[in-house]
Amino acid sequence: MKEYSQYLEKVKGFLADNDAKLIAHYYVDESIQRIAEDTGGIVSDSLEMARFGNKQKESKLIVAGVKFMGETAKILNPDKKIFVLDSNATCSLDESCNHDEFLMFCKKYPDREVVVYANTSAEVKAIADWVVTSSIAVSVIEYLTSQGKKIIWAPDKYLGQYIVDRTGADMLLWDGACIVHEEYKALELKKLISKYDCDVLVHPESPGEVIALADVVGSTTQILKASQSLPNEKFIVATDKGIFHKMRTLVPNKLFIEAPTAGKGATCRSCAHCPWMGMNTLECLEKALREGTNEIFVDETTAKKALQPLERMVAFAESNNFRVRKR
């Protein structure tokens, strides 16, 4: 405990001396999550990370997460310096959506609104009309559909199909997937459910047959809120295991069980933990603080174009009250 409090004081000092704030995602190491909160930063889903960074007075933001989160912070805060803990920490969704190929695809359907997931590069965002995160994707598509829009969606095919199923929207889907959520296995999940009197919480980047077994489908924050508000004492959770730290801190009296990734066709490329989120270590944090390494830069023209769909997302989120989606 003494060790942690000493370390915390050191990091606080570094952050204050450098006029910096730490913003972390729920999937990063629990020590970094604790430090972010104990130094006045935040641990949250990707939407709240973007919104929080936008409101800080500090001139530097240190983003513990993956590259697209750092780029989003930079685009929304061009006058701030943004750092990530490891510049190689990417995302399989971001990697699946190459700018030139996606541009060619969009050009084939000029009558369609282009909606991209936040888990994309700045260049891909620059092509889009809207950026969304999992917490507001359904609401934004419902809104666009009510306006009579047809949609191009990229890159997550599972989230895209989930949105189509919920909203009936006319959407063309890009063929991308998250290597963590794609691994959840419906058959094994069914077996696990039969053993417990539990609710099942699923992130919508999971395959459709896993989503079909869910009681609640939502972003990381929405899943956490469900674990607090639902009366059940036991939950099976299909999202990166980094989230268990926050879950068990918020609701220590409940039982949280990992959804299975083993079973027929299993590859265990990630075993329910994002390898890129895992690159956010205390050593990297110290290095970033000490040496100011891994600053994020986004080309000015790209940033200007990407700002518009990102600002739409933030404005939409400010003007709407998002509920946990109970199936």
Footprint of ligand 13P (CB under 6 A): 45-47, 119, 133-135, 178, 205, 219-220
Output 15 or 217, the one with its CB closest to ligand SF4: 217
For residue 277, state whether it binds ligand SF4 (rule: CB under 6 A): yes
Output 15 or 310, the one with its CB closest to ligand SF4: 310
As given in the structure block, the two tokens for residue 8 are 């915390």
CB of 66 to ligand SF4, least distance (A): 5
Site for ligand SF4 in 218-247 (CB under 6 A): 240
CA–CA distance, 10 with 310 (Å, rounded to integer): 34
Output 45 or 86, the one with its CB closest to ligand 13P: 45
CA–CA distance, 207 with 210 (Å, rounded to integer): 5
CB of 295 to ligand SF4, least distance (A): 20
CA–CA distance, 233 with 252 (Å, rounded to integer): 10
Sequence-ordered list of residues with C-beta below 8 angstroms from that of 1, at least 6 positions apart, any chain? none
For residue 119, state whether it binds ligand SF4 (rule: CB under 6 A): yes
CB contact at 8 A, 41 and 22: yes
Decide which of ligand SF4, ligand 13P, none touches 29; Cβ closer than 5 to 8 Å per partner kind: none
For residue 211, state whether it binds ligand SF4 (rule: CB under 6 A): no
CB of 306 to ligand 13P, least distance (A): 17
CA–CA distance, 142 with 10 (Å, rounded to integer): 47
CB of 65 to ligand SF4, least distance (A): 7
φ, ψ for residue 142, nearest 5 deg: -60, -45
Among 178, 214, 238, 313, binds ligand SF4 (CB under 6 A): 178
For residue 62, state whether it binds ligand SF4 (rule: CB under 6 A): no
Contacts with ligand SF4 by CB under 6 A lie at 66, 91-93, 119, 178-180, 205, 240, 274, 276-277
